[in-house]
Amino acid sequence: MTKTWPITLSQLLESLPRAPGDNGRELVRKAYAFAAAAHEGQRRASRELFVEHDLAVAHIVSQLQVDAPTVAAALLHDVLLPHTQLDEAAVRKAFGAEVGSLVAALAKLAPYSEGLSTASREQTTEAVRRALLTIIEGDARVILIRLADRLQDLRKAGDLPREERESLALEAREIQAPLANRLGIWQLKWELEDMSFRWLEPEQYRKIASYVAERREERDRWIQRAIQALKRRLNEAGIQSELTGRPKHMYSIYRKMQEKGLNFEQIYDLRALRVIIESDDPSLCYQALGIVHQLWTPEAKAFDDYIAKPKGNGYRSLHTAVLDEQGQYLEVQIRTRAMHS
């Protein structure tokens, strides 16, 4: 996910999917003008202008390939706050029933789920999760905008008082990240997790982030060489594929350290690769797996077949881990294009 700040209107318009004869740009432009006028110079607790926050939230949802009314609703998500003195009817009048009801539904969600204390966390989590799931049955777009809203709050949470920041982060970890996971919105899930990790365990986060940054160049060069070697083998076998180096997320590194009892020295070299098979035939994934295991030495205990046994959220992929000639550890995920999207 791009982290450019602040987002401009033209960047947002640029990120919209293009369709011939569609007036999505006009709608989004109009929503921006409406939000800018409604908030007129008002700043949030984290000190940014409301309209800057709105543009950023809209940009997050836009990158998830949603339709223009959803992007417009994201721009308008906080336009019914008391300081604007607007009501649902005003939004409906300007934008019609579809955008109007999305904005009204967003306004009905409490700004923060109060009383999310550690003591009653489990209960609270379950209660809020149930509430969110009920909303999904109505319109999933509401929850999508809500998740983007929360992510943007977390990105700017460094400017909030510590208590507020930690409560946001806790809620993201307990509710929004699992929800994004269940909905299969990976980009949001990863960043929600990384951001909540960053604010809840700042020291651990900083350590991991600096290790990852230090070794980035060397690791990227190594990954490029690995991609070339594997790509050649797959081409020879007639398997059309796209190979990418997969960024490791801070929180997943941290969790791996916890789960496997590893220290930084053992973990900071983690490298990961993703193979997307262009054909829809799952058997090619297994063929590609065989090629990976011929090229490098498989780690016996590190294989998972989520194609034969998909995860609860529908995730399907093969996961393996191998060692190269120099004993460098590499995680490889293999799936078809259809499984990926």
Binding site for Mn ion (CB under 5 A): 78, 149
Decide: 141 and 77 in contact? Cβ < 8 Å. no
- If the CB atoms of residues 144 and 322 are measured against Mn ion, the closer one turns out to be 144
Least distance in angstroms from the C-beta of 316 to Mn ion: 34
- If the CB atoms of residues 58 and 275 are measured against Mn ion, the closer one turns out to be 58
Least distance in angstroms from the C-beta of 169 to Mn ion: 16
- If the CB atoms of residues 67 and 78 are measured against Mn ion, the closer one turns out to be 78
Q: Which of 16, 100, 32, 29 is nearest to 66 (CA)?
A: 16
Distance CA 46, CA 37 (A): 20
Least distance in angstroms from the C-beta of 50 to Mn ion: 8
Side-chain-side CA neighbours of residue 78 (13 Å): 24
Least distance in angstroms from the C-beta of 59 to Mn ion: 13
**Residue of minimal Cβ distance to Mn ion:** 149
- If the CB atoms of residues 156 and 173 are measured against Mn ion, the closer one turns out to be 156
Strands 329-336 and 304-305: unpaired
- If the CB atoms of residues 149 and 331 are measured against Mn ion, the closer one turns out to be 149
Distance CA 15, CA 265 (A): 40
Distance CA 142, CA 130 (A): 15
- If the CB atoms of residues 78 and 194 are measured against Mn ion, the closer one turns out to be 78
Least distance in angstroms from the C-beta of 78 to Mn ion: 5
6 cis-preceded (ω within 30 degrees of 0): yes
Distance CA 2, CA 6 (A): 11
Q: Which two tokens stand for residue 178?
A: 């699992």
Q: Which two tokens stand for residue 249?
A: 């997320």
* CA distances to 23, 51, 79, 147, 300 from 37, in Å: 22, 9, 10, 25, 61
Least distance in angstroms from the C-beta of 77 to Mn ion: 6
